[in-house]
A and B are shown apart, each in its own frame.
Chain A
């Protein structure tokens, strides 16, 4: 496969992973205005848990779902017990989530040591698929397919169900949503748990080719931030487009202009912040 095609496939696969990470981050920030700096930690902890389950011979998909469930539980508890007390207080929320990010990083270091862990690609997802004479790595295509399937499921949930309409009502005007009887508080917990679950699931999906290592959390967090700023806070379409955009910028930038990789990555974010602060698909907030 040519370099360009390899880079393109890697970019799309990274875009898929970034969507799993950033869609929850975007929903959490859009609905609850919580800048959740432990979102990368959910990705890493989910990945470590997945690795631990895979090492015990558990099926890959069951391990991914179990990790997602564990992240949903941990995320939901942190939101319900701690973040709830800091409603509307951005700086304390930043400090609390940052503190938890460090705690999770230390716990992971203690449990899984500083060595990188790279689980084997599941047997049934190994190999390559031949399309038009070109070979594509099956696993990366599966990652993209899963991300697209989850994007469609989230879109159906948010745009086509009453529950989704309630979530959007909460994003539009939380106090009035509460007055009409919507239990915004429970929706907050649900969305936070869902976001954590998606991040954990993404961590397991990414583990076979990113590997899992100390520092993965703070490598992924800025990428999620850039995606959400580019795409627009609270916008699933924005998260999807932003994820693939960043996937391409990251892979091509690192490969072609390694010295300027971060410039290529962060410059669009800076431009968007200056020229269109609401992001490509975000709404202007008053």
Chain B
């Protein structure tokens, strides 16, 4: 059986003395899309930070494609075929659009999907039009496209997306949703962290609900769609 794309097992994580994650466990099968949802401060972004190596867990295991990466540096984890679309986009603002993409370029061992600047521009023609502009001058939606494009330039096998719809107009959110659906259809394993429950439930195969740093629910998205009480209980929405 193929190893999971990402697996967290009994992960405890802290910021200073404050414990943020309590024995968090979940896994993402290869080619699946996992929606990670929860209230503000539930620990979703912390899970992403642990996964990409920005925060070392104090206990527990983090595996990517069967390799333990719990205390590995972010740049080494990236070599395993993992890419992050960070919360708030965090594009390199003083770099041009093209430079943002080129610094993240990495060839994949998997020849199936080979992202280059040209293929990213094919996916986001708007970026091509603005390829020489500093990223700081892009709109929020364009910066989000650039953040996604930059992540794809690493030719990842696992894509972590932290609130890609945050602060975007509804039409742009729909575009981002279509992009994610396309990437999923291409076979990419994806973790989607979102406050936008509808978007997440529309796209995800599996759902993990975090509540106060613990896993409150984990299961197929069909299950949570059938049971509004789970969403109401953990997210306070109906």
Q: A81-125, CB under 8 A of B: which get 1 and which 0?
A: 000000000000000000000000000000000000000000000
With A178-B74, A179-B74, A179-B86: A172-B94 Cβ-Cβ less than 8 Å: yes
Asked if B74 and A175 sit within 8 Å, CB to CB, the answer is yes
Question: Which residues of A have CB within 8 Å of B92?
Answer: 168-169, 172-173, 176-177
A126 within 8 A of B: no
B158 to chain A, nearest CB (A): 13
A159 to B195, CA, bound (A): 38
Asked if A171 and B103 sit within 8 Å, CB to CB, the answer is no
B102 within 8 A of A: yes
Residue of B92, B95, B100, B102 ringed by the most chain A CB atoms within 10 A: B92
Q: A162-176, CB under 8 A of B: which get 1 and which 0?
A: 100110110111011
Asked if B90 and A173 sit within 8 Å, CB to CB, the answer is yes
B79 to chain A, nearest CB (A): 7
B93 within 8 A of A: yes
Asked if A175 and B78 sit within 8 Å, CB to CB, the answer is no
A234 to chain B, nearest CB (A): 9
B54 within 8 A of A: yes
**B-contacting 9-mer, from A45-53, A62-70, A180-188, A214-222:** A180-188
Asked if B52 and A179 sit within 8 Å, CB to CB, the answer is yes
B83 within 8 A of A: yes
Question: Which residues of B have CB within 8 Å of A178?
Answer: 53-54, 73-75, 78
Question: Which residues of B have CB within 8 Å of A179?
Answer: 52-54, 74-75, 77-78, 83-84, 86
- Which residues in A have some Cβ–Cβ distance to B below 8 Å? 162, 165-166, 168-169, 171-173, 175-185, 283
Residue of A162, A169, A175 ringed by the most chain B CB atoms within 10 A: A169
- Dominant secondary structure of chain A at its interface with chain B: helix
A74 to chain B, nearest CB (A): 26
For B83, give its contact among A165, A172, A180, A182 (CB under 8 Å). A180
A32 to B53, CA, bound (A): 20
- Which residues in B have some Cβ–Cβ distance to A below 8 Å? 52-54, 73-75, 77-79, 83-84, 86, 90, 92-95, 99-100, 102-104, 106, 150-151, 153-154
Asked if B154 and A175 sit within 8 Å, CB to CB, the answer is no
A168 to B90, CA, bound (A): 14
Asked if A165 and B95 sit within 8 Å, CB to CB, the answer is yes
A177 to chain B, nearest CB (A): 7
Closest to A186 in B: B75
Question: Which residues of B have CB within 8 Å of A176?
Answer: 84, 86, 90, 92
A153 to B218, CA, bound (A): 55
Asked if B95 and A172 sit within 8 Å, CB to CB, the answer is yes
Question: Which residues of B have CB within 8 Å of A175?
Answer: 54, 74
A179-B52, A179-B75, A181-B154 provided; 12 other pairs, C-beta below 8 A? Answer: A162-B103, A176-B84, A176-B90, A177-B92, A178-B54, A179-B78, A179-B84, A180-B78, A180-B103, A180-B151, A182-B75, A182-B103
Residue of B86, B100, B102, B103 ringed by the most chain A CB atoms within 10 A: B103
A185 to B100, CA, bound (A): 19
Question: Which residues of A have CB within 8 Å of B154?
Answer: 180-181
Question: Which residues of A have CB within 8 Å of B77?
Answer: 179
A181 to B151, CA, bound (A): 10
With A173-B90, A176-B86: A181-B95 Cβ-Cβ less than 8 Å: no
Closest to A184 in B: B75
Asked if B150 and A180 sit within 8 Å, CB to CB, the answer is yes
A166 to B78, CA, bound (A): 15
Residue of A169, A172, A179 ringed by the most chain B CB atoms within 10 A: A179
